[in-house]
Structure 1
């Protein structure tokens, strides 16, 4: 079968032929229908140790597929069921996993495409049926990225939901694969005023289409605009979906007393907070992925037409080029690999 793998540190992804996997006891084989591309994949391919993952590794941690075969003892799902895959594979028994937070597994969370072979292929193996979420008649190309591009901002928003009531102002920094879904979720779930920022005019247009009340070009001047539109108070909540030093600095500049900055992007930056260099009583947090229960909620929201992921499809042969476009910031919404193309 065909697969897109990261094989050699320092080189880009490669399209190769590999053996079709066989599900072991308790596992499930999926015929992949779609797999989203993510900046997290770029992170793995940009660091000298590939985050310690064993290579070669098939990429793709946003899977959609159809159940093809059940391994011995696997139950709870039927062959032919269209599903997406919850990507946080925890131990299932630690304190966090028992609370439904496998993304925070105390024994170490792995993921397809981030530690084990992922979905950028014709077929993939899922470790257990509990990580499968049926999607009914949802378009798998749009549904695949619910597993991260929607789940990650959803978790981040839920973590500060009491602060997003009417009369507040929220800044979304970065209207990429995650940020454009965050705008939709904020519009559906809260009464806050949404101000989206990005360096790309076309992404600001997407933010408007997704429900942003205001859009601003990202830069130092944007913070002054936020202070102006909030009568000097600053934004109540700022979500940084980029996570580089410049956006973290901008997030802090947009903040006021008792504001909350949530860093979601894995750009390697951070917010420098001290008693004398930040607004008083400010909070800064990070947010990693989300829980399986929240993913089922997102599927229901998508089925009701409340949210959607903007996508651009690529064949598996085109995926290496798609990663290059992602790196250049030329993807609007989410790039998705589609094996059937």
Structure 2
């Protein structure tokens, strides 16, 4: 079969022929119906090197996947061939306290995981291929009626990641509150929808691109702000001068972190999701009183089930552009150049 593989650090991926995977005991092979192209893949291609993460190329890209069960290994009894499924992307040991809670992102025994700190498309073969081997059936969730693999794929990361960040701040997103979304890209356009579907907060979206702000408005933002020197003042005005109860930084640069700290309301949350590598100096007087600053990584299996339910009900609708495997490299170039609205989904065989 054909697969888009990263063969070495700091290189472009290549489309190559590899053997079709075969499932062992407890394993499942799925036929890929969609694999999302994530901005974090660009970090893998151009910035990572030996020692940055505890795994290395070669591997097939694509950590945001959905498709249909193709083959079952011995002992897998709750799935059927042809059944549509989504892949839970982070793969932990499956038995530590965090994994038993479904938080395999925070596995406490990564040495016993299929790949330490990673998953399919992150150290092991992912979904940018015709077929994908999933090492345990627990990592597959059946798609609810009304949701197809093409639109489910981006929900497994582009929606799950902001959903986890927003869910932990639900107590602060009450009527009369304000949430600021910085960066309306693949994750940000989902964050706006998640806030609209699950909270009563007024939503302010921030981005440098006019087309991204238009997208945010289409998906339910109450106000949009052009990134730049006047952004903090405009956000303050949009929040009635009080600041944001919750700031979601989907970029994570020095500039966006500084903006988030300036516009956060006292006792609010500033959650850093983006991995642009920025830093935020924190001292007693550098942020408003009792502002909680945290990072999050992906989300849990139970949360993915909730996200898929929202998708099936039409409350989360990713903006999708599809390409075949042959167009995946060019798609990543467009992503790097900031020319993508929503999410590019690779559909093998299309």
What TM-score, normalized to structure 1?
0.97
Q: 2:125 aligns with which of 117, 125, 130?
A: 117
Distance in 1 between the 2:229 and 2:48 partners?
A: 29
| Structure 2 contact 181–204 (Cα < 8 Å) conserved | yes
Structure 1 SS opposite 2:53: helix
1:54 corresponds to: 56
Structure 1 SS opposite 2:86: strand
Cα offsets for 1:276-323 (capped at 9, x unmatched): 222122110111111111111111111111111111001101100111
| Structure 1 contact 29–67 (Cα < 8 Å) conserved | yes
Q: How big is the shift at 1:154?
A: 0.6
Cα offsets for 1:209-256 (capped at 9, x unmatched): 110000011123111112223343211110000111111111112123
2:281 corresponds to: 272
Distance in 1 between the 2:86 and 2:37 partners?
A: 15
Q: 1:312 aligns with which of 318, 321, 324?
A: 321
| Structure 1 contact 28–70 (Cα < 8 Å) conserved | yes
| Structure 1 contact 33–340 (Cα < 8 Å) conserved | no
| Structure 1 contact 68–80 (Cα < 8 Å) conserved | yes
Structure 1 unpaired stretches of 5+: none
1:39 and 2:39 correspond = yes
1:1-341 → structure 2 map (5 Å cutoff): 1-45=1-45, 46-49=47-50, 51-108=53-110, 109-135=117-143, 136-341=145-350
| Structure 1 contact 27–128 (Cα < 8 Å) conserved | yes
Q: How big is the shift at 1:75?
A: 2.3
| Structure 2 contact 96–107 (Cα < 8 Å) conserved | yes
Q: Which has the larger displacement, 327-336 or 39-48?
A: 39-48
Distance in 2 between the 1:89 and 1:9 partners?
A: 21
Q: How big is the shift at 1:99?
A: 1.9
RMSD: 1.3
| Structure 2 contact 10–44 (Cα < 8 Å) conserved | no
| Structure 2 contact 204–238 (Cα < 8 Å) conserved | no
Structure 2 unpaired stretches of 5+: 111-116
- Alignment size in residue pairs: 341
Structure 2 SS opposite 1:220: coil
Cα offsets for 1:35-55 (capped at 9, x unmatched): 001112111112222634232
What TM-score, normalized to structure 2?
0.95
| Structure 1 contact 219–250 (Cα < 8 Å) conserved | no
Distance in 1 between the 2:238 and 2:331 partners?
A: 38
Q: How big is the shift at 1:139?
A: 2.5
| Structure 2 contact 146–313 (Cα < 8 Å) conserved | no
Structure 2 SS opposite 1:156: helix
Distance in 2 between the 1:307 and 1:34 partners?
A: 17
Q: How big is the shift at 1:137?
A: 4.5
Distance in 2 between the 1:228 and 1:63 partners?
A: 40
Cα offsets for 1:149-181 (capped at 9, x unmatched): 111111000111100001111100000111101
Distance in 1 between the 2:94 and 2:334 partners?
A: 37
| Structure 1 contact 27–70 (Cα < 8 Å) conserved | yes
| Structure 1 contact 220–250 (Cα < 8 Å) conserved | no
Distance in 1 between the 2:166 and 2:185 partners?
A: 16
Distance in 2 between the 1:60 and 1:151 partners?
A: 15
